[in-house]
């Protein structure tokens, strides 16, 4: 029952986001790129462990004239909580951006990443490695600096295996 309620709320949210985005697109003259590349330094919180991360994303717009992108996100995160933790994420990602009607240089971004992450943990005389499934929701914003460059931030959060993960980051987005 909770699963059905959650899925219903997700569908309603997507429909509402689409309606707002359509109105925003009609009111703005924002630049559209067919392909984008991002470089994103940030932080990583995995369970109760904090560290640093760097992500890179390449995305293509499969629908001409829309700001919907699909692609791949590759990230590396490191933490040193009395030992060593490394995460390598290989996540297929989809995200949608839309300009606000009041300011077409400011864009709202929503996205989803899911896929495998490789974990390596060592410390205290032991070492463990493995692969876990990661799901990240990606709310954020972008600001258009010029026709081919945007800067912004993501507040990525989700689940890695059975652990809560939070990965805020700064995004530098370049049109290809």
| pLDDT tens figures, 31-90 | 568 899 999 999 999 888 899 999 999 999 998 778 899 999 999 999 887 788 899 999
Instruction: Report the alpha-carbon distance of residue 122 to residue 168 in Å, rounded.
Output: 24
CA-based torsion, 26, 29, 35, 37: positive or negative = negative
Instruction: Report the alpha-carbon distance of residue 112 to residue 130 in Å, rounded.
Output: 23
* CATH architecture entry for 2-175: Beta Barrel (2.40)
Instruction: Report the alpha-carbon distance of residue 23 to residue 25 in Å, rounded.
Output: 5
In the prediction, which pLDDT does 92 show?
A: 96
pTM for this one? Answer: 0.76
């Amino acid at each position: 029952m909770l699963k059905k309620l959650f899925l219903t709320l997700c569908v309603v949210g997507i429909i509402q986001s689409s309606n707002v985005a359509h109105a925003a697109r009609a009111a703005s003259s924002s630049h559209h790129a067919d392909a984008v590349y991002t470089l994103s330094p940030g932080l990583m919180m995995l369970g109760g462990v904090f560290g640093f991360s760097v992500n890179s994303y390449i995305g293509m717009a499969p629908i001409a004239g829309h700001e919907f992108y699909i692609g791949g996100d590759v990230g590396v995160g490191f933490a040193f909580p009395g030992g060593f933790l490394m995460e390598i994420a290989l996540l297929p990602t989809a995200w949608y951006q839309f300009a606000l009607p009041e300011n077409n240089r400011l864009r709202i971004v929503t996205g989803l990443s899911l896929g495998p992450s490789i974990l390596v943990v060592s410390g205290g005389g032991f070492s463990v490695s493995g692969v876990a499934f990661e799901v990240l929701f990606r709310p954020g914003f972008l600001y258009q600096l010029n026709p081919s460059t945007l800067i912004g931030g993501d507040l990525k959060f989700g689940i890695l295996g059975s652990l809560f993960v939070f990965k805020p980051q700064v995004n530098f987005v370049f049109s290809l």
